[in-house]
Amino acid sequence: MFLGMPVAFAIGCASFLFYLFGPVPPAIAVQRIVSATQSFPLLAVPLFVLAGHLMNEAGITERLIRLATAMAGWIRGGLAQVAIALSALMGGVSGSAVADAAMEARILGPAMLSRGYSRGFASAAIAVGSLITATIPPSIGLILYGFLGNVSIGRLFIAGIIPGVLMTVFLMATAWAVAVRRGYQAELERPPRGGELLRAVWESKWALLFPLFLIGGIRYGIFTPSEAGAFAVAYAIIVGMLVYRELTWRKLVQALQHSLADTGMIMLIIMFSAMIGYMITMERVPQNATAFLASLSQNRYVLLLLITAFLAVLGMFLESTVITLLLTPILVPVVTRLGIDPVHFGVVMMTTVTLGGMTPPVGVAMFTVCGMLDCPMEEYTRDALPFLGAVIALIVLMIFVPAIVLVLPNLLF
């Protein structure tokens, strides 16, 4: 990976050596690659990727920007608040932090710079704010974690709602504090009147109804999380073509092309990672890891903090999808044996590893936003520290107060 080889092939080459020189024949490696693709739950990944791109092309995003401006534009640090509120709204329709960060950098970034915001602050608000998209359902990271760890994807989706809302509040409070210190003004002169806010909500109703349909459909057994992806695609096409009339055939083809590239990359990594999963089981890695962690401390909160710190460091160097695919099969059995709810751990893990995408040295969301806004890495890092501190505070809170994550799934399931 450090030599610049594509991640999927770096994983594939390293894994294949085990089969070439290890106790099992190399033919098993090929079988593992093929069997990884024969999975019904995995259908959710390409379908939600496509749904996210379709909703960006269908005019849904534009209406959500107007709603986010009405909701948060009157607070100090106006456009930064709009960017964070938009990430929360996009969380219900997109599922990809990097896609959300790129879209906001393209649309809101230039406007923020023209209003006098520093490049570092604008980039940090957009990049770290996009983390909310990866927490609020439907999150692609949570789908992968649920599939690999054999954890209920429906419960994981519901579990992400309260942490996502809290993250929005924490980040908006941080943006307000920085804006007051630097003298950044609000975008709107006053809070919206009831009628204005209702009008913005009504314009965005089809986008806002989608997560409710999604969660309601999964909860009442109308469709599985995998089938929910197909529902999301159909919903985006119907709303884009028949309701808003903005999804043209050209835009549809464009969304398909982007989805094809994203899905190809994710599926290659999943296929080659399957070899590691089999290898880990054969070498009894989960059992040995459990024994090692249990020898460090008997306190599950201490163990959870240690695992989270390890994931945070790893997230600085590897993409969140890669960490999820490599470590979920190892860590889920470990935390389960230590008495930690895998749903609780899943939300903590995905928040932590996705945060790595917003931090130096190799954060994907960070590079995307900084590249588009021409922001130097040093300036981004300095201005991102308050936002990163707010997210880390929330992760620690989730570790010590599991009810934040578990109260909704326990009520609904």
Q: Could you report the per-residue pLDDT of 256-286, keeping only the tens digit for each?
A: 998 888 788 778 877 887 787 778 777 777 6
- Residue 345: pLDDT band by 50, 70, 90 thresholds? very high
Kindly report, residue by residue over 111-162, the tens digit of the pLDDT: 888 888 899 999 999 999 988 988 888 777 888 899 888 898 889 989 999 9
Least confident of 123-127, 131-135, 312-316, 317-321: 317-321
In the predicted structure, residue 296 carries a pLDDT above the cut 70: yes
Annotate the chain with three-state secondary structure. Answer: CCCCCCHHHHHHHHHHHHHHHCCCCCHHHHHHHHHHHCCCHHHHHHHHHHHHHHHHHCCHHHHHHHHHHHHHCCCCCHHHHHHHHHHHHHHCCCCCHHHHHHHHHHHCHHHHHHCCCCHHHHHHHHHHHHHHHHCCCCCHHHHHHHHHHCCCHHHHHHHCHHHHHHHHHHHHHHHHHHHHHHCCCCCCCCCCCHHHHHHHHHHCHHHHHHHHHHHHHHHCCCCCHHHHHHHHHHHHHHHHHHHCCCCCHHHHHHHHHHHHHHHHHHHHHHHHHHHHHHHHHHCCHHHHHHHHHHHHCCCHHHHHHHHHHHHHHHHCCCCHHHHHHHHHHHHHHHHHHCCCCHHHHHHHHHHHHHHHHHCCCCCHHHHHHHHHHCCCHHHHHHHHHHHHHHHHHHHHHHHHCCHHHHHHHHHHC
In the predicted structure, residue 362 carries a pLDDT above the cut 70: no
pLDDT at 93: 67
Q: What is the pTM of this model?
A: 0.79
- Per the model's pLDDT, the better-predicted residue between 289 and 392 turns out to be 392
User: Which of 190-194, 212-216, 345-349, 365-369 is predicted most confidently?
Assistant: 345-349
What mean pLDDT comes out for the span 89-110?
77
pLDDT at 167: 95
pLDDT at 351: 92
Q: What is the mean pLDDT of the chain?
A: 85
What mean pLDDT comes out for the span 217-236?
83
